[in-house]
Amino acid sequence: MTISIAVAGASGYAGGEILRLLLAHPAYATGELEIGALTGHSTAGASVGELMAHLPQLRQRRIVETTAENLAGHDVVFLALPHGHSAEIAGQLSPDVLVIDCAADYRLRDADAWQQYYGTQHAGSWPYGIPEMPGHRQAIVQARRVAVAGCFPTAVTTGVLPAVVGELIEPDLSVIAVTGVSGAGKKAAVALLGAETMGSLRAYNPGGKHRHTPEIVQNVREYLAPEAAPKVTFTPVLAPLTRGILATVTAPLLPGVGPEQIRKVYEDFYAQEPFCLVLPEGQQPETQNVVGTNMVHIQAHVDQTAGKLIVTAALDNLCKGTAGGAVQCMNLALGLPETAGLPMAAVAP
């Protein structure tokens, strides 16, 4: 049986990255997976060759309008659409279809948090797409609907999760995360022009304003006592990079926790996780070492003078932070090998 896949928003950065990964998927090579409808809005009618010359296998294909009709009849539908657009489409698709949403529409369980940060009606929540979070892999395996995590929450959550689950820190996180410009999508914007970003760093949406803040809080809260109230201060920084996130998370250590305990907890927590690599002591995560991969490189440090844990985590925002996470969830939900089609080795230099 051949599994057909449609990609809505195929000409955007996330959609194009999903296609790149699918074209290298072993099940695509054997014919077990086939790529069906590729949809878009402003690019409808254009060929893939015109829009995404880096995908030569699909160069003759044309983008069609994003409608439920064009997406119907597929076994898997990836929604790589702007926030707030997925719910309308998803509601028109058969419950038997595996729908994987790369936007935020179904990530948050708290309707008030959704209203505060997105300002529209809350559509509900789906199983959350970070398989490395305890309990989530099993939910994804059984799901027909999956909400892929945001890129910043993926970096921060995988970085700090061992310390949260291991009860090594107070849930009071200070996060500074440097990101490349592709995280803002493919839309034209003056602030993202090369002349505005080259040779410059700029913080944006600080002070709890970034939309990924409640998602990080939700992920941390899941592993705390019901009465606990996690705090997250999140400051993203735009850097002149195409891809990549380097997140630095600082949190107070609980009394008696030392460097040896931290290292053991981190190494044990990720020992069986193929996409989370705890680096040897003294080696720092670098965005160049994860570009194009589904990896998160992680390092944990103890500042004994300050009594703080400092975690650094690097990933590719378009791969593990979006499209790679989406394909990883697809593999799980379809019963395919979880690592299939997902690169672990980056291009270097």
Residues with a catalytic annotation lie at: 151
H/E stretch holding 203: strand 202-203
Q: Is 210 buried (19+), middle (13-18) or exposed (0-12) by CB count in 10 A?
A: buried
* Rounded Cα gap, residues 86 and 70, in angstroms: 15
Counted residue by residue, the chain has a size of 349
**249 and 266 Cβ atoms separated by less than 8 Å:** no
Structure tokens at 217: 């809080």
Residue 309's φ and ψ, nearest 5 degrees, are: -95, 135
Tell me, what DSSP letter sits at residue 288?
G
